[in-house]
Chain A
Amino acid sequence: MAYNILIVDDSQTMRRVIRKSVTLAGFDLGECWEAGDGREALTVLKTHAVDLILTDFNMPGMDGMEMLKELQKDEKNRHVPVVLITAQDNARVVPEGSALGIKGYLQKPFQPEAICKILSQVMEKNRV
């Protein structure tokens, strides 16, 4: 089953790398949407159905956590699983992360295998 994903990161370069890593690692990728910050991501979600969101934490404009708080108000998308991909250790965000739909964490830098592993785990748990 192919999964539609949304990649949210203010770095266009990093979005490209994440997309490429997901593909290279053999994850079953359907459509792949991109957004440069939280606000743009919420706009994409209004018109596109996604199965998984990969988001950065620290972004200009609306950051990752603000986006997730807004997403919780969206009946259609509040249950979409989220993986946080960030340069920082996740200790700062774990306490409130679960309540906001974060199902997995990945710290940059990462290998493609690591991203595939975490995405597969998250989607498997979500199916169950």
Chain B
Amino acid sequence: MFDDIRKKAISVVSNIFETMFFIFLELQENGEEPKGRPEGMGKHPDGQPCDGAPLNILRSEIGFQGKIQGKIRLCIPYQLARTMAGNFMGLEEGEVSESQTMDMAGELTNMISGNLFSLLDKKAGCRLTVPKTEAISDSEMADTSDKAGITINFDAEGQRIKLHLQFES
């Protein structure tokens, strides 16, 4: 069952990135780090230096309830999210605000969740919660996939995107 979910999730995520954001993803097997990580990833999302670990990742979470229950989490580098928000809205990157970027990350997770669970539970469908998005550090992103479930890593233009599905009994 997990294998089927994983395959469908890969297909859904890839399709959404291409259709809405014109970004082609590469699946990363075995937790390989993407090549050519861009510089400047160590700042707070608003560009200000921060104390402690920089919060340069956006993590959006949606809960799902139905025949299958749990949470779906998407982690995406802030700078990539900002670029995607610009593509999404037809704006230059410099015109995109932090709130628009976070909103876009939540909506992206919403689309992934909705499409995935429509495939998995066609008859009844899952109830989805409203997305919650927060800025986190690289180490918190690594922690996201430590919980039991399915983790899928993608490379988008040299940056890591992580999707994690956590199932509850």
Contacts and interface: CB of A to CB of B under 8 A. Distances in A.
Contacts of A86: 114
Contacts of A107: 114-115, 118
A110 to B, nearest CB: 8
Contacts of A20: 89-90
A88 interface: yes
Given A58-B128, A89-B122, A107-B114, 20 more contacts: A11-B103, A11-B104, A11-B107, A12-B100, A13-B85, A13-B89, A13-B100, A13-B104, A13-B107, A14-B107, A17-B88, A58-B110, A86-B114, A87-B110, A87-B114, A88-B115, A108-B20, A108-B110, A109-B20, A109-B111
B142 interface: no
B54 interface: no
B70 interface: no
A46 interface: no
Counting chain A CB atoms within 10 Å of each CB, which of B20, B88, B110, B113 scores highest? B110
B38 to A, nearest CB: 23
B7 interface: no
A30 interface: no
Contacts of A87: 110-111, 113-115, 128
A26 interface: no
Interface string B77-118: 000000001001110000000011001101100110111011
Contacts of A91: 118, 122-125
Interface in A1-60: 10-14, 16-17, 20, 58-60
Interface residues of B, number: 28
B111 to A, nearest CB: 5
Interface of B: 15-16, 19-20, 85, 88-90, 99-100, 103-104, 106-107, 110-111, 113-115, 117-118, 122-126, 128, 130
Counting chain B CB atoms within 10 Å of each CB, which of A58, A86, A109 scores highest? A109
Nearest to A20: B90
Contacts of A126: none
A92 interface: yes
Contacts of B118: 88-89, 91, 107
B103 A13 contact: yes
A50 B15 CA distance: 34
A11 B124 CA distance: 25
A108 B88 CA distance: 13
